[in-house]
Amino acid sequence: MEFRDYQEDIIKKGSNVIAEHGFVYLAMEVRTGKTLTSLGIAKKMGAQQVLFITKKKAISSIEHDYQLLQPNFTLEIINYESLHKIEGSFDLVVLDEAHSMGAFPKPSKRAKQVKIIIQKNNPLVILLSGTPTPESYSQMYHQVYAIPSNPFKRFINFYRFCDQYVNVTQKPINGIYIKDYSKGLPTIMDAMKPYFISYSQQEAGFKTVTSETIMYVEMNPLTYNIANKLKKDLVVEGNNEVILADSAVVLMQKLHQIYSGTVIFKSQSSKVLDYSKAIFIKKKFKNKKIGIFYKFKEELNALKEVFQQNITTKLDEFVNTNKSIALQIVSGREGISLRQAACLVYYNIDFSATSYWQSRDRMTTKDRTKNEVYWIFSKRGIEDQIYKAVVNKKDYTLNHFKKDLLNL
For residue range 93-117, what is the model confidence (pLDDT) as tens digits? 999 999 999 999 999 999 999 999 9
Contact status, residue 74 vs residue 48, Cβ threshold 8 Å? yes
Tell me the Cα Rg of the chain. Answer: 23
* Superfamily of the domain at 209-407: P-loop containing nucleotide triphosphate hydrolases (3.40.50.300)
Q: Which CA distances in Å does 334 have to 29, 36, 63?
A: 11, 15, 16
> Do 5-204 and 209-407 have matching folds?
yes
Determine the residue type at 31. Answer: R
> Predicted confidence band at 313 (pLDDT cuts at 50, 70, 90)?
very high
Q: How far apart are CA 244 and CA 241, in angstroms?
A: 10
Q: How far apart are CA 254 and CA 241, in angstroms?
A: 14
Q: How far apart are CA 66 and CA 63, in angstroms?
A: 5
Q: How far apart are CA 355 and CA 334, in angstroms?
A: 9
Q: Is the pLDDT of residue 176 over 90?
A: no
What is the CATH code of the structural domain delimited by 5-204? 3.40.50.10810
- Output 390 or 408, whichever has higher pLDDT: 390
> What are the residue ranges spanned by the domains of the chain?
5-204, 209-407
Q: How far apart are CA 74 and CA 70, in angstroms?
A: 10
Determine the residue type at 221. Answer: P
Q: Is the pLDDT of residue 80 over 80?
A: yes
Tell me the average pLDDT across 76-83: 96
Indicate the pTM of the whole model. Answer: 0.76
Q: What is the pLDDT of residue 37?
A: 97
Contact status, residue 129 vs residue 98, Cβ threshold 8 Å? yes
Which of these ranges, 161-170, 279-288, 396-405, has the smallest mean pLDDT?
396-405
Q: How far apart are CA 310 and CA 304, in angstroms?
A: 8
